[in-house]
Chain A
Amino acid sequence: MPKDTIKLISAEGFEFIVDYKAACVSATIKQMLSSEGTFTETETGEIKLQEISTPILETICQYFHYKIRYQNSVTKSIPEFKLAPEIALELLKAANYLDC
């Protein structure tokens, strides 16, 4: 049963509560939440992402909303998604993991 919001937990144990729809920007998360099988994630709506640190997960959550906000936008003026260079590599790895 899809819930409106879900909980993403970082490696350090910080909890981010995100819109279900936003979280589904990640194909991996989407699959976790909607899998046919009876995995714990599907049932509880909580995903513990043990490989992702809090700052990275925070940026990811921002990106989810950014993506939803602008993906179907027709205006040309889409603001740049700013990120600090020092987290770029970590973020890239996480993006690969989450398929987003």
Chain B
Amino acid sequence: MASQKKKSFKIEPFKHAYTLDPGYADKTWKILEDAIREINGHNASGLSFEELYRNAYNMVINKFGDRLYNGLVETITAHLRSIAAKIEATQGESFLRELKLRWDLHNKSMQMIRDILMYMDRIYVKHNNKVPVRQLGLDLWRDVVVRNKRIMDRLLTILLDHIHRERTGEIIDRSLLRSITQMLMDLGQTVYCDDFERHFLVKAAEFYQVEAQEYMSSSDCPEYLKKAEKRLAEEIERVSNYLDPISEPKILNVVETELIANQMKSLVEMENSGLIALLEQDKYEDLARMYALFKRVPTGLELLRGMMLEHLKETGKGLVTDPERAKEPVEFVQRLLVEKEKYDRLINSSFASDKTFQNMLNSAFEFFINLNQRSPEYISLFMDDKLRKGLKDMSEDDVEGVLDKVMMLFRYLQEKDVFEKYYKQHLAKRLLSNRTVSDEAERSLLVKLKTECGYQFTSKLESMFNDIKTSRESMQDFKNRNRGSEAGTSADAGAPRPEDELELTVQVLTTGSWPMSNVAKCNLPRECERTCEDFKDFYLKTHSGRKLSWQTHMGNADLKATFGTSKHELNVSTHQMCILLLFNEVDSMSYRDILGATGIPASDLKRSLQSLACVKGKNVLKKEPMSKEIGESDTFSFNEGFRSKLYKLKISTVSAQKESEPEKQDTRHRVEEDRKPQIEAAIVRIMKSRRTLDHNSIVAQVTQQLSARFLPNPTVIKKRIESLIEREFLERDATDRKLYRYLA
């Protein structure tokens, strides 16, 4: 029961005795309303801030906030209606100016109204989730003035008209436009975007569509690009001058679409000034512009790249398959280098070193270099030419530069093994005839090849270099030994040797490392034979168990010859020496006699004779009958009347020349043969790890494994697989004929 009593106990809230004057709210609002009118009428001086603030304050704390806020909305709305009417009434040009003026005044008034209603903003607005006074001012302006249909339409038309006029070259009041667009932006981004920007973009698209047509019919490609570039710059400037930055990507997109994307295809295909013409005329500047512009649109660069690729393939194909050009290997490679350099420069200077374009360039070169089967040979020949003589007056850096460039071409080759074959041949000739200009350059190229293709590729080449080096050393030993034994007979080592004494230089080459077929040794003259035997004895004494075979077709010799009264020193090949020495005993010999006496293979003999008898100024032999070719029935005689201004004469040896057609066939055949074991090895390697694999995968993997050296033909791979099955390395799966198994 006691608890019930407690329950009824209640604390009475303290009540104010004081009640408000019932007319209080009306009176106070009247004061404030008048003040707001005054402010809107720009007649605020003399108003007391404190008084107005106090009144608003009191209204809010006496719970008349609603009254105050709604009253404010009404008053402002009414005021703005009258303003809107005034703006509508203005004529023509002054419309924008009036609008701007009214807007500025409105803002100023709203600022003051906000100040005196600060307390309401702070307390009432916050608690009742109303729109703050400042925003209210903007919203009302937007709804009553700007979105007033008659005002909006006119505003839009005038704005767009101004912009159109500026595009066509007139001068307009930018700052006025700036303040109008700023107003739209202040009213909210949606107002700017929906009520203005949308229309602006549509208008721009229309304008540029028409303009693109005009430009296309009146200008050539570079000019068009210049104009488009200018237009883009103008639009950027326009945005920065009197539009909001958010418009920039949008308007640029419009211009890009209309002026570039929609026209680019016709642009690049323009006759006499399109992409091809620009490429051919080296118009780097225009190409740079084209690149920069096309980059802006999604498929622009793709189009550019595709077209360039086609063009490159086309011109490249022309270069490599033109039979005229293919005659001169050095020239041929030089042309390729020039072409490559041109496009490298183009991509670097005009296309901002774009990786995708570099790749395009590479694929184009790869495509057409491999169109010509002789490319590997020519590239090797080019290197040969450079290493023989081309690098003489170049600095080390230049040499590196040239080599690097050729290596670029080398990289494009699919048949690197063919290149290796030729390179080996050419290198052998250079080394043996001592024709390399710079050992350093040779080494540097070797290092490059090694980094490019790995150790395997160059191991034989390196061993060639080593052979030459060790040969030099053992020759030194051999000479020293000779000198030692001669010490008794000849007091001075530098004294002239007896007539029949000859100086022999031997290069001992590792079989297998050097690209040479075992050609039968020719019959050396007696004097030589003796010295050779000497060397053989000497060499085998220090390297027992080795076998020396003489490769007479690779050698050369210096001879002293007397033609009547004049003496000459002749530099000839070993074969030529053998031939010439025959004439020490007889004056005239038939082709058959020479062939019998020397034992030189017919083709070599013919070439040697040709250079001895048929080259003008160096014809130390006379031929009967006189002709350019060597016939089997020809007779040769010593040319007693031979004269030359030079004391030393070089009878041109058969230098590395472009291969003749049968030789080429031969090399190709050898390459094909060499590939077989490589393909087989690859197949076995793959099968060993995979155990079973289907045909297509094997082909794919073999191709991939060997791609660093050459591109194997699928049918060849198939043949190799068959051969491996025959030899029981693999077997076909019993059920699935496409499947192979590895037999351990």
- Give A contacts to B, CB under 8 Å: 27-28, 31-32, 35-43, 47-51, 97, 99
Contact = CB atoms under 8 A, between A and B. Distances in A.
Contact of A41 (B39, B50, B57, B119): B50
Interface stretch (B13-21, B25-33, B108-116, B699-707): B108-116
Given A28-B53, A51-B54, A36 B111 contact: yes
B217 interface: no
A10 B298 CA distance: 73
B112 A37 contact: yes
Contact of B46 (A28, A40, A51): A40
Contact of B118 (A31, A41, A50): A31
A36 B112 contact: yes
B10 interface: no
B44 interface: yes
Contacts of B122: 99
Contacts of B50: 32, 41, 47-50
Nearest to A99: B122
A35 B46 contact: no
Closest 10 CB pairs of A and B: A37-B112, A39-B49, A38-B45, A32-B49, A35-B115, A41-B49, A36-B111, A37-B44, A40-B48, A38-B44
B48 A36 contact: no
Contacts of A42: 49
B35 to A, nearest CB: 10
B110 to A, nearest CB: 10
Q: SS class of chain A's interface: helix, strand, loop or mixed?
A: mixed
Contacts of B45: 38-40, 43
Contact of A37 (B53, B111, B119): B111
A99 B56 CA distance: 14
Contacts of A37: 39, 44, 47, 49, 108, 111-112, 115
A68 B122 CA distance: 23
A4 B185 CA distance: 38
Nearest to A50: B54
Contacts of A28: 53, 118-119
Contact of A39 (B48, B108, B118): B48
Contacts of B44: 37-39
Interface string B101-128: 0000000100110010011001000000
Nearest to B112: A37
Nearest to B49: A39
A32 B46 CA distance: 13
Contacts of B118: 27-28, 31, 99
B111 to A, nearest CB: 5
Nearest to A31: B115
B115 A36 contact: yes
Interface in B366-395: none
Interface in B242-299: none
A85 to B, nearest CB: 18
B439 to A, nearest CB: 77
Nearest to A93: B61
Contacts of B119: 28, 97, 99
A99 B118 CA distance: 10
A40 B57 CA distance: 19
Given A35-B49, A37-B44, A40-B46, A97 B115 contact: no
Contacts of B108: 36-37
21 contacts: A27-B118, A31-B49, A32-B50, A35-B49, A35-B111, A35-B115, A36-B111, A36-B112, A37-B39, A37-B47, A37-B115, A39-B49, A40-B45, A40-B46, A40-B49, A41-B48, A41-B50, A42-B49, A47-B49, A50-B50, A99-B118
A35 B51 CA distance: 14
A61 B4 CA distance: 54
Given A37-B111, A38-B44, A39-B48, A32 B53 contact: yes
A51 B54 CA distance: 8
Given A31-B118, A37-B112, A97 B49 contact: no
Nearest to A97: B57
B40 to A, nearest CB: 11
A5 to B, nearest CB: 18
Contacts of A43: 45
A88 to B, nearest CB: 17
A39 B47 contact: yes
Q: Which of A32, A42, A50 has the most CB of B within 10 A?
A: A32
Given A31-B115, A31-B118, A35-B115, A40 B47 contact: yes
A42 B118 CA distance: 16
A36 B119 CA distance: 17
Contacts of B115: 31-32, 35-37
Contacts of B49: 31-32, 35, 37, 39-42, 47
A87 B105 CA distance: 44
Nearest to A48: B50
Contacts of A99: 118-119, 122
Q: Which of B50, B51, B57 has the most CB of A within 10 A?
A: B50
Nearest to A33: B49
A36 to B, nearest CB: 5
Given A31-B49, A39-B45, A39-B48, 14 more contacts: A32-B115, A37-B44, A37-B108, A37-B115, A38-B45, A39-B47, A39-B49, A40-B45, A41-B49, A41-B50, A49-B50, A97-B57, A97-B119, A99-B119
Interface in B60-119: 108, 111-112, 115, 118-119
A97 B123 CA distance: 11
Contacts of A47: 49-50
B571 to A, nearest CB: 97
Contacts of B51: 50
A32 B592 CA distance: 129
A45 to B, nearest CB: 12
Nearest to B115: A35
A47 B54 CA distance: 12
A38 B111 CA distance: 12
A57 to B, nearest CB: 13
Contacts of A50: 50-51, 54
B550 to A, nearest CB: 101
B41 to A, nearest CB: 12
A36 B46 CA distance: 14
A69 B102 CA distance: 45
